[in-house]
Amino acid sequence: MAVIQFGDPDKNPALTGHQKSKNQILNGTDNGSINLLIGDVAFMHNHSKGGNDTLLGGNNSDGGILVNALIGDSGLMFNHAKGGNDTLTGGNNSHGGLLVNGLAGDSGVMFNHAQGGNDVLTGGHNINGAVINGLTGDTALMFDHSKGGNDVLVGGDNAGIGSVMNILTGDALGMFNHAKGGNDELIGGNNLGVGHIVNILAGDALIMSGHAKGGNDILQGGDGNGEIGNTVTNYLYGDAREISVSITIDEILDKFNELTGINSNEILNTAMDRLPDNIAGINFSEFAANIESKLNLNKKAHVKAGNDILISGTNATDHMWGDFGDPSITQGGADTFVFMNNFGNDFIYDFRQSDGDQIIFAVTGVSAYDDLAIEDNGVNTTIIVDVDGTAHGTVTLVGVSGVDLSGDIGFVF
């Protein structure tokens, strides 16, 4: 059964003019099939503003499949609409089965000069079973001159037996045209039990194209407990997982399928079958055609990356990219990579001295460059941190060789 709630039904389907929505609290239903909670209304445009809403997803405790779709303000935001400062929390999984939490701080799609609020999103936790948390600070897709808020996203933990995948994007799944990301903080989930956690954190979006601009974000990988059967893998992207010249809707869905291992097309079709044919007058065919036309505007790309801070997890394996972009179409930011006690065997894939990238060690007993061991095999450079026989981890700079790193490494002690 699908449960659909709008926080401000008196004004639904649209906020227009200078209307402002009330502050709402919405709760999902436990052990259902789909909870669709929208903090305010279906559409926001002109200079309307969303309320500061609280949305709570339902819990899954019967071993079935539950999907929580939580949107802080509205399905679509355009013109100069502005989202409220919302708090969204996914449901928890406690008795096997699969729980999917999809949280968007402001809207499904933002375009024109729409602006997201400063939202707090928290993924659901797993005790027994599997949880997929997809958290995006503002919206699924950002176009034109839309702008993301300064959001905080926290992945879900694994506290028992099972697995959790956290996909956190500070602003959107895709940013196009002249969209601009906010200054966000993303924190991966921790593994406290037996099983696996995969944290995929992108400071701005999974995909950036056109003249999109990233914010100055902070990303922190999740931690493991170091015990047998407990694994954490963090993928940290300061700006985006992919920066490209052009892309289509089908390609976006294909990339999401590849990333998660699930069929998003099938999930969308199932959701549409269970939802009413017409929600607040939305014509989905016309809407999809309009989105495709905006994607076609990206005939060239010159994405500008932010100056991001990426913090490795402890007892985890971290794969880190400050910018993840072809330098010919990307203006890289000056990124900082931080490693603390027991950080693991980690990898940086786009370390560039020319961008002003820095590496910081906050490791007990390490206070100078001479405390590090540097190995250069002619292809990669590996930094080894071993203090009095205590191995804290290694950092491999992939594709970096024959350079003096003494001016690029700092210490906090």
pLDDT digits (tens, 9 = 90+) for 123-136: 999 999 999 999 99
More confident residue, 69 or 290: 69
Short-list 21, 27, 65, CA closest to 274? 65
Model confidence pLDDT, tens digit, residues 197-249: 999 999 999 999 889 999 999 999 999 998 888 999 999 999 998 877 666 66
Does the pLDDT at position 91 exceed 90? yes
Exposed/middle/buried for residue 260 (C-beta within 10 Å: 0-12, 13-18, 19+): middle
More confident residue, 279 or 322: 322
Does the pLDDT at position 284 exceed 50? no
Does the pLDDT at position 307 exceed 50? yes
225: left (phi over 0), alpha (psi -120 to 50) or beta: alpha
pTM over 0.85: yes
Does the pLDDT at position 310 exceed 50? yes
Short-list 182, 3, 335, 19, CA closest to 11? 19
